[in-house]
């Protein structure tokens, strides 16, 4: 499998009145061709900022990349000029957002928007672009594609808009698709349609997808590999089967357990106490320690490293062998 | 972009932990230089208004026939007028008249206008139509003509200037508060208040009014500038303050005969009116950016 | 349990649409004649996709918006016949929790004042000290320390605000809480805190819940009985067990199969419904679901299905189950 994207030690911050405030604290991961990698986390975990950092999409926001590299097919995107980067966006890397309306121009017809994208990125003459647009719309399961070309975005339903966006984004055959909560604003029956569609397209085109979501069910459904983020760091990374069968990090475990499951007959849900720490006031040591029921003395003092065993990475002292050996040793001498 | 929204939410979360609302407000306000300078100028005017009688170098009303129409000098910084009265002292004394007239006029207009706007926006239907059509009628007259008409009916004098200026600021307050009310009315917390059984009065005063307050403050500040100008104009036309009183407009009016011979008689009162109106407008602009970014149009 | 606390009989609400002069008048048929009962002490879940009328139903019960027709009885009394004043009394016994905790608290009021407001309205004779004690007790039960009393809503996180919203709803000691998507704006780890809190409070104060949500897993967790809505109609009502193990209506079946499962080893085959949800201002004839239903026949296109009680505790509106 060829590697498509590698993020190395990415650090991103927000400009505030008190200077640059880091919100992504050095994360590294990769996406292979033909692979769907999920990024899960709650609000404030930095998952969306990660995707914007890769795309360098910070126009009107206070976001700023502080450090790190994003290698796309071996080339560092952070070294590119804005002009070159523009060519990468859409052509090579595409992005889908949660609210489809934000990516559509409300005053232009769907057809015109589709054509413009295609003309711009694929250098196609107008007529051909028109035919190609209809073909792409049909490929995402829109039956009346011809009529739709003459309609405005507000005339479509949420699910249909998201289909149009997907059509627009895949029309230029990108190798990598970044999807930021693409189904969160949709109803479950429509979500099922869109997830199915994305899987189909992925199999057909063999592109890599970075799928950002807060919904663990969606992750289990669509992803091959999962990255769990908490407070701007990766706390766990594993294949999807491994992650749900044997979650290691207490945060991942808590997250999985706090979702109600159909058929589960328990009176009480598990819940992680407390809330996500504020970026201006990060705890020392492990960022999750204040909410963790297994927290030990060291957790509050020193941040654990991301340790990988058999392709399963965890950032937790509980899985540090040296640590645990010491601890057992202590117990022995005490006893 | 929704991701931008979610990001700005994250930024908001960051802000929450920062020092109190007021401190934060003050700090970012201090970055808007014109507004800050205006703020201190307005503050200075109010201080002068209060302590004015104690700091004037000369009596503002006492004629001095030994020094008629003197040009600015070290003894009389702004020179003297046709009766030998110190112009600086008269301007300082006049601050009290101009500010109290304009502030009380705008306050009166704001109170009535806000009430009408709240009722109009919240109740809607025929009440809204009635109030808004009434405002349209008032809007049809140019402000100053309306004020002149009112003073003409009520007779000249500062009290009637206050009423006249208040009257023409009512419709603009009513309209702006109505707009804000319509927007706030749709918010979930209003529905929540309804669901606990809150009555209309309570919802209007406790839930909607506080939300419209920033808009009102901004508009108030800007209107004080307009009111000063209007009051000065009325005095200039002889419909406001007594010609002998140190009102800025009246000073201008009396001294226009000397515009060719003693320019400073016109210049200093004119300058102070200009600066004051400008300061209120700039301050209003600054406040608007801070409190009510949506109002920019 | 057993006594009926609130009952809706054939309630309707259509919102007229403003159209051009020459077009025929149309209306969004938000709630199109639905009937159900909620028993004392139970949690009745109302599920459906966006635009199905579930939120409107909640507001109709609470009287926030008036019904066009139909009857709502609360503790045996017909609410439509009450005057404005009498409504106030009933409001006290029927409170709401809203979806968006960021928007449902007045931004310029202190927490203390937000919580005291219902008491100010309904218990004018109560003195300030008594009110304070009530507020403090309840806040503590909802997991907010009294240390926060003088803060403003923007100083709290979403989960904390929802706790405050719940406390506000409880302070008048209501019998019925109408919760409109109370956890859907929250992160999963916070969501479970709030669900647990609601369950605890239900036991402690003997509450009845109408729990409105689009999230079937949440509804399954908290409800005793569940109603499924589609385009303003109630298509199925049954006990939780029956809805989730033996759903009858094809729409309920499709909804259930669409929920992503948290187990990647299970390769499920969701019933992918074709097409979009029709617009509520121009719903399909006959059974409203026929345009997307895999089992639709000609009869479904023409005839509105009757509501049939398959069992004592299972109602379904579908031609497939004609007796």
pLDDT tens-digit profile of C120-177?
A: 988 888 888 888 888 998 888 888 888 888 888 888 888 889 999 999 999 999 999 9
Q: Check CB contact under 8 Å for B3 and A98.
A: yes
pLDDT at A329: 53
Structure tokens at A316: 């937790």
Average pLDDT over residues C183-189: 86
Quick check: A51 and B11 CB within 8 A? no
Distance CA A52, CA B11 (A): 15
C172 to chain B, any CB pair closer than 8 A? The answer is yes
d(CA C77, CA B67): 90
A281-297 confidence digits (pLDDT tens) = 888 889 999 999 888 88
Going edge to edge, which strands form the sheet with A307-309? A93-96, A176-180, A208-213, A36-40, A225-230, A233-239, A312-314, A307-309
> To the nearest whole angstrom, how far is the Cα of A103 from the nearest Cα of chain B?
7
The angle, 0 to 180 degrees and rounded to 10, between the axes of the packed helices C188-205 and A250-258 is 50
**Is A190 touching C (CB cutoff 8 A)?**
yes
pLDDT-derived band of residue B20, with 50, 70 and 90 as boundaries? low
Give the residue-averaged pLDDT of C43-54.
Answer: 89
pLDDT in the model for residue B269? 87
Touching A (3+ Cβ pairs <8 A), the chains are B, C
pLDDT at B11 over 60: no
Average pLDDT, chain A: 85
For chain B, report the end-to-end CA distance as a whole number of angstroms.
Answer: 22
Is A268 within 8 Å of chain C by CB?
yes
**Cα first-last separation, chain A:** 52
Q: Rounded to whole angstroms, how far apart are CA atoms C268 and C251?
A: 17
CB neighbour list of residue B26: distance below 8 Å, 6 or more residues apart: none
| pTM assigned to the model | 0.83
Top mean pLDDT of B106-115, B164-173, C9-18 is at B106-115
Q: Which residues of B touch A62 (CB under 8 A)?
A: 11
Residue-level pLDDT at B208: 92
Instruction: Render pLDDT for B84-128 as a digit per residue (tens, 0 to 9).
Output: 788 888 888 888 888 888 999 999 999 999 999 999 999 888 999
Question: Would an 8 Å CB–CB cutoff place B73 in contact with chain A?
Answer: no
Q: Is C43:C223 a contact under the CB 8 Å cutoff?
A: yes
Q: What percent of chain C has pLDDT over 90?
A: 32
Please name which of C203, C227, C316 lies closest in space to residue C6, comparing C-alpha atoms.
Answer: C227
For residues A201, A203, A205, A209, the Cα torsion angle rounded to the nearest 10 degrees is: 80
B223: phi then psi, degrees, rounded to nearest 5: -70, -25
Nearest CA in chain A to B25: A17
pLDDT digit string, tens, across residues A81-102: 888 888 888 788 888 887 777 7
Establish, for the pair of chains B and C, how many residue pairs have beta carbons separated by less than 8 Å: 63
Decide which of 2.70.180.20, 3.40.50.300, 1.10.3720.10, 3.40.720.10 is the CATH code for B41-47+87-291.
1.10.3720.10
* Residue B294 binned pLDDT confidence (cut-offs 50, 70, 90): low
Q: Rounded to a whole number, what is the distance in Å from the CA of C229 to chain B's nearest CA?
A: 23
Higher-pLDDT residue of B72, B11: B72
**A21, A97, A278: residue with CB nearest B3:** A97
d(CA C213, CA C50): 10
pLDDT at residue A325, rounded to an integer: 66
- Annotate C231-287 with DSSP letters as a single string: TTEEEEEEEHHHHHHS--SHHHHHHHHHSPPS-TT---------SPPPPTTSPPSSS
First to last CA, chain C: 30
Q: Where are the domains of chain B?
A: 41-47+87-291
Structure token digits, residue B282: 């700039």
- Determine contact: B14 vs chain A, CB below 8 A: yes
Contact list in A for residue B9 (CB cut-off 8 A) is 43
- Tell me the ipTM for this assembly: 0.83
* Nearest-by-Cβ selection for C270 from A192, A264, A270: A192
| Percentage above 70 pLDDT, chain C | 96
- Report C:55-94 residues touching B (Cβ under 8 A): 62, 64, 87-88, 91-92
- Minimal-distance CA residue of chain A relative to C187: A42
Q: Which tokens belong to B21?
A: 């609302």
- Model pLDDT, residue A1: 67
| Nearest-Cα residue of chain A relative to residue C275 | A190
At B109 the pLDDT is: 93
Looking at the complex, report in whole angstroms how far the Cα of residue A215 sits from the nearest Cα belonging to chain C: 8
pLDDT at A335: 34
Q: Return the minimum-mean-pLDDT range out of A288-297, C53-62, C84-93.
A: C84-93
- Looking at residue B17, its pLDDT comes to 41
Chain B contact set for C122 (CB, 8 A): 197
Whether A295 and A286 have beta carbons less than 8 Å apart is answered as yes
Cβ separation A196–C272 shorter than 8 A: yes
Over residues C207-264, the pLDDT tens digits come to 999 999 998 889 999 999 999 999 889 999 999 989 998 899 999 999 888 888 888 7
Does residue A332 surpass a pLDDT of 50?
no
Give C 107-126 residues with CB within 8 A of chain B: 107-109, 117-118, 121-122
Q: Cβ separation of B14 and A279 shorter than 8 Å?
A: yes
The DSSP bridge partners found for residue A246 are none
Which residue bears the tokens 């809204």? B128
> Looking at the complex, does the CB of residue B13 fall below 8 Å from at least one CB of chain A?
yes
Determine, for residues A62 and B18 on separate chains, whether the beta-carbon distance falls below 8 Å.
Answer: no
pLDDT for residue B2: 37
Q: B2–A62: do the CB atoms touch at under 8 Å?
A: no
Q: For residue A63, what is the nearest residue in chain B, using CA coordinates?
A: B7
Of the candidates C64, C87, C108, the beta carbon closest to that of B211 is on C108
**Is A260 in Cβ contact with C218 (below 8 Å)?**
yes
Q: Is the pLDDT assigned to residue A59 strictly greater than 80?
A: no
C19 — phi, psi (to 5°)?
Answer: -125, 175
CB C278 within 8 A of CB C291: yes
Mean pLDDT (chain B) is 82
B14 interfaces chain C, CB cutoff of 8 Å: no
**Confidence band for C19, pLDDT divided at 50, 70 and 90:** low
Most confident of A26-35, A162-171, B142-151: A26-35
Note whether C121 contacts B199, CB cutoff 8 Å.
yes
* In the predicted structure, residue B19 carries a pLDDT above the cut 60: no
The minimum CA-CA distance between A334 and chain B, rounded to whole Å, is 43
Q: What is the pLDDT of residue A225?
A: 94
Per the CB < 8 A criterion, the answer to whether C192 and A270 are in contact is: yes
**In this structure, are residues B115 and B122 in contact, taking their beta carbons and an 8 Å threshold?**
no
Beta-carbon separation of A260 and C217 below 8 A:
yes
Domains of chain C: 4-41+48-83+214-321 (3.40.50.300)
């Amino acid at each position: 499998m060829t590697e498509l994207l590698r993020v190395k030690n990415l650090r991103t911050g927000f400009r505030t009145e008190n200077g640059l405030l880091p919100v992504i604290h050095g994360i590294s991961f990769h996406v292979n061709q033909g692979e769907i990698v999920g990024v899960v986390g709650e609000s404030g975990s930095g998952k969306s900022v990660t995707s914007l950092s890769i795309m360098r999409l910070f126009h009107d926001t206070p976001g700023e990349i502080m450090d790190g590299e994003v290698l796309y097919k071996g080339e560092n995107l952070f070294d590119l000029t804005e002009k070159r980067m523009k060519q990468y966006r859409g052509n090579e890397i595409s992005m889908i957002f949660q609210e489809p309306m934000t990516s559509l121009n409300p005053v232009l017809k769907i057809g015109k928007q589709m054509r413009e994208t295609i003309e711009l990125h694929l250098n196609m003459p107008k007529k051909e672009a028109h035919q190609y647009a209809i073909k792409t719309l049909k490929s995402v399961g829109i039956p009346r594609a011809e009529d739709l070309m003459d309609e405005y975005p507000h005339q479509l339903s949420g699910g249909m808009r998201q289909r149009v966006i997907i059509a627009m984004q895949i029309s230029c055959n990108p190798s990598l698709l970044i999807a930021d909560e693409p189904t969160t604003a949709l109803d479950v029956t429509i979500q099922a349609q869109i997830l199915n569609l994305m899987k189909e397209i992925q199999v057909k085109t063999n592109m890599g997808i970075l799928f950002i979501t807060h919904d663990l069910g969606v992750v289990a459904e669509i992803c091959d590999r999962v990255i769990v983020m908490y407070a701007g760091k990766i706390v766990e990374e594993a294949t999807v089967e491994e992650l749900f069968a044997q979650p290691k990090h207490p945060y991942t475990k808590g997250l999985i357990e706090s979702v109600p499951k159909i058929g589960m007959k328990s009176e009480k849900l598990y819940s992680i106490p407390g809330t996500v720490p504020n970026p201006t006031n990060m705890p020392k040591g492990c960022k999750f320690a204040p909410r963790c029921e297994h927290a030990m003395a060291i957790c509050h003092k020193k941040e654990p490293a991301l340790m990988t065993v058999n392709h399963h990475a965890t950032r937790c002292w509980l899985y540090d062998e040296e640590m645990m050996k010491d601890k057992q040793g202590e117990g022995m001498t005490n006893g | 972009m929704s991701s931008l929204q979610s990001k700005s939410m994250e930024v908001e979360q960051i802000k929450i932990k920062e020092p109190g609302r007021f401190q934060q407000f003050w700090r970012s306000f201090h970055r808007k230089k014109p507004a800050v300078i205006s703020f201190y100028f307005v503050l200075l005017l109010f201080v002068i208004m209060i302590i004015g009688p104690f700091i004037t170098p000369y009596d503002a009303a006492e004629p001095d026939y030994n020094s008629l129409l003197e040009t600015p000098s070290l003894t009389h910084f702004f020179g003297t007028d046709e009766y030998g009265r110190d112009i600086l002292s008269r301007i300082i004394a006049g601050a009290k008249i101009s500010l109290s007239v304009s502030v009380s006029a705008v306050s009166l207009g704001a109170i009535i206008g806000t009430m009408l706007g709240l009722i109009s926006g919240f109740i809607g239907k025929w009440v809204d139509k009635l109030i808004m059509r009434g405002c349209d009628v008032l809007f049809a007259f140019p402000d100053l003509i309306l004020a002149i008409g009112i003073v003409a009916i009520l007779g000249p004098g500062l009290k009637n200037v206050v009423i006249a200026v208040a009257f023409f600021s009512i419709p603009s307050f009513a309209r702006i508060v109505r707009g804000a009310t319509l927007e706030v009315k749709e918010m979930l917390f209003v529905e929540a208040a309804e669901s606990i059984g809150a009555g209309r009065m309570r919802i209007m005063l406790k839930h909607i009014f506080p939300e419209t307050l920033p808009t009102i403050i901004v508009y108030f500040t800007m209107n004080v500038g307009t009111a000063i100008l209007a009051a000065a104009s009325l005095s200039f036309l002889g419909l406001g303050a007594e010609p002998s009183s140190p009102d800025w407009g009246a000073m201008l009016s009396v001294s226009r005969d000397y515009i060719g011979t003693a320019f400073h008689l016109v210049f200093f009162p004119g300058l102070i009116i200009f600066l004051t109106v400008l300061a209120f407008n700039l301050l209003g602009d600054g406040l608007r950016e801070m409190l009510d970014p949506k109002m920019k149009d | 349990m057993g006594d009926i606390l609130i009952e809706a009989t054939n309630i309707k609400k259509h919102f007229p649409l403003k159209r051009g002069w020459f077009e025929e008048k149309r209306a969004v048929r938000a709630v199109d004649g639905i009937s159900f009962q909620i028993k004392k002490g139970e949690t009745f879940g109302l599920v459906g996709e966006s635009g199905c009328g579930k939120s409107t139903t909640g507001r109709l019960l609470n009287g926030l918006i008036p019904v066009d027709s139909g009857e709502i009885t609360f503790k045996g009394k017909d609410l439509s016949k009450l005057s404005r004043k009498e409504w106030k009394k009933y409001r006290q016994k029927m409170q709401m929790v809203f979806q968006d905790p960021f928007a449902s608290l007045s931004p310029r009021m202190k927490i203390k004042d937000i919580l005291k407001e219902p008491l100010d309205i309904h218990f004018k004779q109560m003195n300030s000290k008594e009110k304070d004690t009530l507020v403090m007790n309840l806040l503590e039960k909802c997991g907010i320390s009294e240390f926060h009393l003088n803060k403003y809503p923007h100083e709290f996180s979403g989960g904390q605000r929802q706790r405050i919203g719940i406390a506000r709803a409880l302070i008048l000691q209501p019998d019925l809480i109408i919760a409109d998507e109370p956890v859907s704006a929250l992160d999963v780890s916070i969501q479970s805190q709030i669900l647990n809190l609601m369950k605890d409070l239900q036991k402690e104060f003997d509450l009845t819940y109408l729990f409105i949500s689009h999230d079937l897993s949440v509804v399954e967790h908290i409800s005793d009985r569940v109603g499924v809505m589609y385009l303003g109609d109630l298509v199925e009502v049954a006990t939780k067990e029956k809805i989730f193990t033996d759903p009858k209506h094809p729409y309920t079946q499709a909804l259930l199969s669409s929920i992503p499962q948290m187990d990647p080893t299970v390769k499920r085959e969701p019933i992918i419904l074709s097409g979009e949800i029709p617009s509520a201002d121009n719903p399909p004839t006959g059974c409203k679901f026929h345009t997307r239903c895999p089992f639709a026949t000609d009869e479904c296109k023409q005839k509105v299905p009757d509501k049939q009680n398959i069992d004592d505790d299972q109602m379904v509106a579908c031609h497939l189950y004609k007796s």
